[in-house]
């Protein structure tokens, strides 16, 4: 077991970029929404750097990039709806689990560790994605970016999770790929563990100084 898990009674995982490489499907849905406006596709390389603050922010970045100026709120809302539509059709078509994820989640569950999921992705997509990988049953509570008024890097979703399980924040571990996960974890009073392979706006997540860093989640177990 990883030393950071010593005494930990609840592990909270981020989803995109931590458990699943979802950018191929996110980019496909972004590009489908843009193409309806005859705008050029963004592609996976750009989308990778735009993921992390939820789907509305993703589309704001995509539309702003395509238009060359900040989009108006009505136009953004309409394109965001089209993104949600396209993404919901096939959220798992090309999404893959990262190596070590299944071993880690299976191992933690087998050891009786309660697990939660805190993502900035809309709640509606969590179950289809986890069910697609046979992992929905591993998590006692999953919170999407629209589950509460606040999303990461605000600590509120993590504190909600800790309260739900009746665990003190100091006995919880947040595992994520981006500065938003590490900041939310730190502000909530959780321990923090980062993975370097995900999405962090093109910056190394180590710059956020997590308490630990693992190349693969298999190192947890």
Which residues make up the interface to Mg ion (CB under 5 A)?
14, 16-17, 177-178
Query: Which residue reads 């900041």 in tokens?
Result: 183
Q: Judged by CB, which is closer to ligand PGA: 4, or 177? A: 177
CB of 42 to Mg ion, least distance (A): 18
Q: Judged by CB, which is closer to ligand PGA: 120, or 208? A: 120
Distance, in Å, from the CA atom of 106 to the CA atom of 21, rounded to the nearest integer, reads: 19
Active site residue 14: yes
Output the six-digit token pair for 198.
Answer: 């995900």
Q: Judged by CB, which is closer to ligand PGA: 34, or 83? A: 83
Given ligand PGA, Mg ion, none, residue 71, with its beta carbon under 5 to 8 Å by kind, binds: none
Output the six-digit token pair for 215.
Answer: 């190349």
Q: Judged by CB, which is closer to Mg ion: 66, or 143? A: 143
CB of 38 to ligand PGA, least distance (A): 26
* Nearest residue to 142 (alpha-carbon basis) of 10, 5, 7, 13: 13
Distance, in Å, from the CA atom of 191 to the CA atom of 2, rounded to the nearest integer, reads: 13
CB of 161 to Mg ion, least distance (A): 16
Residues β-bridged to residue 175: 13, 193
CB of 99 to Mg ion, least distance (A): 16
> What distances in angstroms separate CA 122 from CA 23, 77, 133, 175, 202, one per listed residue?
15, 15, 18, 19, 22
Residues near ligand PGA (CB under 6 A):
14-17, 51-55, 58, 119-121, 178
User: Binding residue per annotation — 177?
Assistant: yes
> What distances in angstroms separate CA 153 from CA 14, 21, 51, 86, 107, one per listed residue?
12, 20, 13, 27, 28
User: Binding residue per annotation — 16?
Assistant: yes
Residue of this chain nearest to ligand PGA (CB atom): 119
Binding-site annotation: residue ranges for Mg(2+)? 14, 16, 177
Binding-site annotation: residue ranges? 14, 16, 177
């Amino acid at each position: 077991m990883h030393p950071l898990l010593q005494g930990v009674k609840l592990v909270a995982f981020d989803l995109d970029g931590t458990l699943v490489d979802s950018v191929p499907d996110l980019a496909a849905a972004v590009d489908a929404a843009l193409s309806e406006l005859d705008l050029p596709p963004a592609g996976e390389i750009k989308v990778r750097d735009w993921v992390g603050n939820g789907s509305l922010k993703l589309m704001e970045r995509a539309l702003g990039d395509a238009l060359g100026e900040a989009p108006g709120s009505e136009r953004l809302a309409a394109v965001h709806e089209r993104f949600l539509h396209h993404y919901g059709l096939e959220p798992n078509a090309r999404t893959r689990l990262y190596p070590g994820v299944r071993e880690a989640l299976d191992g933690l569950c087998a050891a009786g560790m309660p697990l939660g999921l805190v993502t900035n992705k809309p709640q509606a997509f969590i179950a289809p994605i986890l069910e697609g990988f046979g992992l929905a049953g591993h998590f006692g509570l999953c919170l999407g970016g629209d589950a509460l008024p606040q999303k990461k890097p605000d600590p509120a979703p993590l504190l909600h999770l800790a309260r739900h399980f009746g665990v003190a924040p100091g006995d919880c571990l947040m595992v994520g790929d981006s500065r938003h996960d590490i900041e939310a974890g730190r502000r909530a009073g959780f321990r923090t563990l980062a993975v370097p392979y995900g999405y962090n706006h093109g910056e190394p997540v180590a710059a956020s100084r997590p308490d630990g860093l693992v190349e693969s989640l298999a190192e947890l177990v």
